[in-house]
Amino acid sequence: MAGVVVFVGDGLSAGARWDERFPEFEVHNLGVSGDTTDEVIARLDSVAETDPDAVVLQVGTNDVGWQRSDEYIVRNIETILWTLHKKLPVTRLLVQSVPPREQEFVPLIRTINCHVRQFAPTVKAHYLDLWPALADSEGKLSAEWSTDSLHLTEAGYVVWLSELRPALVDLLESPQTLPISTQPA
Protein backbone atom coordinates (compact mmCIF):
# COMPACT_ATOMS: atom_id res chain seq x y z
CA MET A 1 0.00 0.00 0.00
CA ALA A 2 1.33 3.39 -0.95
CA GLY A 3 -0.08 6.86 -0.94
CA VAL A 4 0.39 10.47 0.00
CA VAL A 5 -0.72 11.15 3.56
CA VAL A 6 -0.84 14.63 5.06
CA PHE A 7 -0.88 15.05 8.82
CA VAL A 8 -2.23 18.44 9.83
CA GLY A 9 -2.68 19.90 13.27
CA ASP A 10 -0.82 21.27 16.23
CA GLY A 11 2.38 20.43 18.07
CA LEU A 12 1.29 16.89 18.92
CA SER A 13 1.28 16.12 15.20
CA ALA A 14 4.34 18.27 14.53
CA GLY A 15 6.43 16.25 16.98
CA ALA A 16 5.22 12.81 15.97
CA ARG A 17 7.87 11.98 13.32
CA TRP A 18 5.15 10.54 11.08
CA ASP A 19 7.59 9.91 8.24
CA GLU A 20 9.49 7.46 10.48
CA ARG A 21 6.31 5.89 11.84
CA PHE A 22 4.74 5.43 8.39
CA PRO A 23 7.63 4.68 6.02
CA GLU A 24 5.27 2.97 3.58
CA PHE A 25 3.62 6.31 2.73
CA GLU A 26 4.78 9.59 1.30
CA VAL A 27 4.22 11.64 4.43
CA HIS A 28 3.81 15.41 4.69
CA ASN A 29 3.73 16.56 8.30
CA LEU A 30 1.99 19.93 8.34
CA GLY A 31 1.58 20.00 12.11
CA VAL A 32 2.72 23.27 13.67
CA SER A 33 3.52 23.65 17.34
CA GLY A 34 1.09 25.99 19.08
CA ASP A 35 -1.48 25.99 16.29
CA THR A 36 -5.13 26.42 17.09
CA THR A 37 -8.03 25.64 14.78
CA ASP A 38 -7.81 29.22 13.46
CA GLU A 39 -4.25 28.71 12.21
CA VAL A 40 -5.15 25.37 10.63
CA ILE A 41 -8.04 27.02 8.77
CA ALA A 42 -5.67 29.73 7.53
CA ARG A 43 -3.33 27.18 5.94
CA LEU A 44 -5.76 24.73 4.35
CA ASP A 45 -4.63 25.81 0.88
CA SER A 46 -1.18 24.37 1.61
CA VAL A 47 -2.84 21.09 2.60
CA ALA A 48 -4.83 21.01 -0.63
CA GLU A 49 -1.71 21.75 -2.71
CA THR A 50 -0.21 18.39 -1.73
CA ASP A 51 -3.13 16.59 -3.44
CA PRO A 52 -3.04 13.80 -0.84
CA ASP A 53 -4.72 10.41 -0.80
CA ALA A 54 -5.55 11.00 2.86
CA VAL A 55 -5.56 13.83 5.38
CA VAL A 56 -5.20 13.03 9.08
CA LEU A 57 -6.42 15.88 11.28
CA GLN A 58 -5.55 16.34 14.94
CA VAL A 59 -6.32 19.77 16.37
CA GLY A 60 -8.17 21.50 19.19
CA THR A 61 -6.09 21.04 22.31
CA ASN A 62 -4.52 24.51 22.04
CA ASP A 63 -7.98 26.06 21.62
CA VAL A 64 -8.95 24.31 24.85
CA GLY A 65 -5.87 25.78 26.54
CA TRP A 66 -6.89 29.25 25.32
CA GLN A 67 -10.27 28.59 26.95
CA ARG A 68 -12.30 28.92 23.78
CA SER A 69 -15.84 27.64 23.99
CA ASP A 70 -16.88 24.21 22.81
CA GLU A 71 -19.09 25.85 20.17
CA TYR A 72 -16.15 27.84 18.80
CA ILE A 73 -13.83 24.84 18.64
CA VAL A 74 -16.46 22.53 17.12
CA ARG A 75 -17.43 25.13 14.51
CA ASN A 76 -13.78 25.54 13.50
CA ILE A 77 -13.13 21.79 13.27
CA GLU A 78 -16.29 21.45 11.18
CA THR A 79 -15.04 24.30 8.96
CA ILE A 80 -11.71 22.52 8.51
CA LEU A 81 -13.39 19.26 7.57
CA TRP A 82 -15.92 20.90 5.27
CA THR A 83 -13.23 22.94 3.52
CA LEU A 84 -11.01 19.89 3.03
CA HIS A 85 -13.96 17.91 1.71
CA LYS A 86 -14.81 20.70 -0.74
CA LYS A 87 -11.21 21.31 -1.91
CA LEU A 88 -10.28 17.61 -1.99
CA PRO A 89 -13.50 15.74 -2.81
CA VAL A 90 -11.88 12.33 -3.39
CA THR A 91 -9.32 12.56 -0.58
CA ARG A 92 -10.03 10.36 2.41
CA LEU A 93 -10.34 12.26 5.71
CA LEU A 94 -9.54 11.00 9.19
CA VAL A 95 -10.31 13.29 12.11
CA GLN A 96 -9.00 12.37 15.54
CA SER A 97 -10.55 13.27 18.84
CA VAL A 98 -9.14 16.14 20.84
CA PRO A 99 -6.89 14.25 23.27
CA PRO A 100 -7.38 14.38 27.02
CA ARG A 101 -5.65 17.04 29.09
CA GLU A 102 -5.92 18.20 32.71
CA GLN A 103 -8.99 17.32 34.80
CA GLU A 104 -10.53 20.80 34.48
CA PHE A 105 -10.89 20.33 30.70
CA VAL A 106 -12.46 16.85 30.70
CA PRO A 107 -16.12 17.97 30.28
CA LEU A 108 -15.27 20.50 27.56
CA ILE A 109 -13.19 18.04 25.53
CA ARG A 110 -15.83 15.31 25.85
CA THR A 111 -18.46 17.71 24.49
CA ILE A 112 -16.23 18.74 21.58
CA ASN A 113 -15.45 15.14 20.70
CA CYS A 114 -19.10 14.13 20.82
CA HIS A 115 -20.01 16.84 18.30
CA VAL A 116 -17.06 16.12 16.00
CA ARG A 117 -17.86 12.39 16.02
CA GLN A 118 -21.43 13.19 14.97
CA PHE A 119 -20.37 15.67 12.27
CA ALA A 120 -17.60 13.63 10.64
CA PRO A 121 -19.88 11.40 8.50
CA THR A 122 -21.55 14.45 6.92
CA VAL A 123 -18.27 15.13 5.05
CA LYS A 124 -17.42 11.43 4.65
CA ALA A 125 -14.68 11.69 7.27
CA HIS A 126 -13.71 8.81 9.53
CA TYR A 127 -13.47 9.55 13.25
CA LEU A 128 -10.79 8.07 15.53
CA ASP A 129 -11.43 8.30 19.26
CA LEU A 130 -8.07 8.41 21.04
CA TRP A 131 -9.65 9.00 24.45
CA PRO A 132 -9.82 5.34 25.59
CA ALA A 133 -6.13 4.79 24.82
CA LEU A 134 -4.76 8.04 26.28
CA ALA A 135 -7.01 8.93 29.24
CA ASP A 136 -6.74 7.64 32.76
CA SER A 137 -9.75 6.52 34.80
CA GLU A 138 -10.61 10.16 35.66
CA GLY A 139 -10.51 11.30 32.03
CA LYS A 140 -7.17 13.13 32.28
CA LEU A 141 -4.24 12.48 29.97
CA SER A 142 -2.59 9.51 31.65
CA ALA A 143 0.69 10.17 33.45
CA GLU A 144 1.94 7.02 31.67
CA TRP A 145 1.87 8.94 28.37
CA SER A 146 2.74 12.51 29.42
CA THR A 147 4.84 14.36 31.95
CA ASP A 148 2.89 17.63 31.72
CA SER A 149 -0.73 16.61 30.97
CA LEU A 150 -0.41 18.02 27.45
CA HIS A 151 2.59 16.77 25.45
CA LEU A 152 3.15 13.10 24.76
CA THR A 153 6.21 11.12 25.73
CA GLU A 154 7.61 8.58 23.27
CA ALA A 155 5.50 5.94 25.03
CA GLY A 156 2.44 8.13 24.46
CA TYR A 157 3.23 8.39 20.76
CA VAL A 158 3.57 4.59 20.58
CA VAL A 159 0.09 4.23 22.11
CA TRP A 160 -1.29 6.82 19.68
CA LEU A 161 0.34 5.01 16.77
CA SER A 162 -1.18 1.69 17.88
CA GLU A 163 -4.62 3.28 17.48
CA LEU A 164 -3.84 5.36 14.40
CA ARG A 165 -2.12 2.75 12.23
CA PRO A 166 -5.10 0.38 11.86
CA ALA A 167 -7.48 3.32 11.37
CA LEU A 168 -5.31 4.82 8.62
CA VAL A 169 -4.78 1.48 6.87
CA ASP A 170 -8.54 0.85 6.98
CA LEU A 171 -9.20 4.34 5.64
CA LEU A 172 -6.82 3.90 2.72
CA GLU A 173 -8.21 0.45 1.90
CA SER A 174 -11.79 1.71 1.87
CA PRO A 175 -13.28 2.58 -1.53
CA GLN A 176 -12.59 6.10 -2.64
CA THR A 177 -15.73 8.19 -2.77
CA LEU A 178 -16.26 10.06 -6.02
CA PRO A 179 -17.65 13.56 -5.93
CA ILE A 180 -21.41 13.52 -6.34
CA SER A 181 -21.26 15.36 -9.67
CA THR A 182 -19.04 12.69 -11.27
CA GLN A 183 -20.76 9.56 -10.05
CA PRO A 184 -22.47 7.57 -12.83
CA ALA A 185 -26.25 7.60 -12.91
Residue 57 phi, psi (nearest 5): -105, 130
Which tens digits make up the pLDDT trace of 82-118? 999 999 999 999 999 999 999 999 999 999 999 999 9
Report residue 80's pLDDT band, with 50, 70 and 90 as the boundaries: very high
- Give the single-character DSSP code of 121: G
- Count structural domains, the chain: 1
Q: How confident is the model at residue 174 (pLDDT cuts 50, 70, 90)?
A: confident
Question: Would residue 126 count as lying in a domain?
Answer: yes
The rounded distance, in Å, linking the Cα atoms of 97 and 180 is: 27
Residues whose CB falls within 8 Å of the CB of residue 56, separated by 6 or more in sequence, listed in order? 5, 6, 7, 8, 13, 94, 96, 164, 168
| Residue 54 near residue 67 (C-beta atoms within 8 A) | no
Q: Across the chain, which distance is largest between two alpha carbons, in Å?
A: 55
Mean pLDDT of 13-25: 95
| Cα(85)–Cα(53) distance, integer angstroms | 12
Assess if residue 184 is contained within a domain: no
Is residue 184 pLDDT above 80, yes or no? no
Residue 178 lies in a domain: no
Q: Read off the pLDDT of each residue in 111-135 and give the average, rounded to a whole number.
A: 97
Residue 50 backbone phi and psi in degrees, to 5: -80, -15
Q: How much of the chain, in percent, has pLDDT values that exceed 70?
A: 94
Is 23 within a domain? yes
Residue 149's pLDDT band, with cuts at 50, 70 and 90, is: confident
If you ran DSSP here, which 8-state letter would residue 124 be given? Answer: T
pLDDT of residue 40: 98
Report phi then psi at 133, rounded to 5. -80, -30
Residue 124 within a domain: yes
pLDDT at 163: 97
Q: Residue 91 falls within a domain, yes or no?
A: yes
**pLDDT over 60 (residue 60):** yes
- 92 lies in which domain range? 4-171
41 lies in some domain: yes
Specify burial of residue 48 (Cβ count, 10 A radius: 0-12, 13-18, 19+). middle
With respect to residue 149, please indicate whether it lies within any of the assigned structural domains: yes
CATH number, domain containing residue 54 = 3.40.50.1110
- Given a cut of 80, whether residue 185 has pLDDT beyond it is no
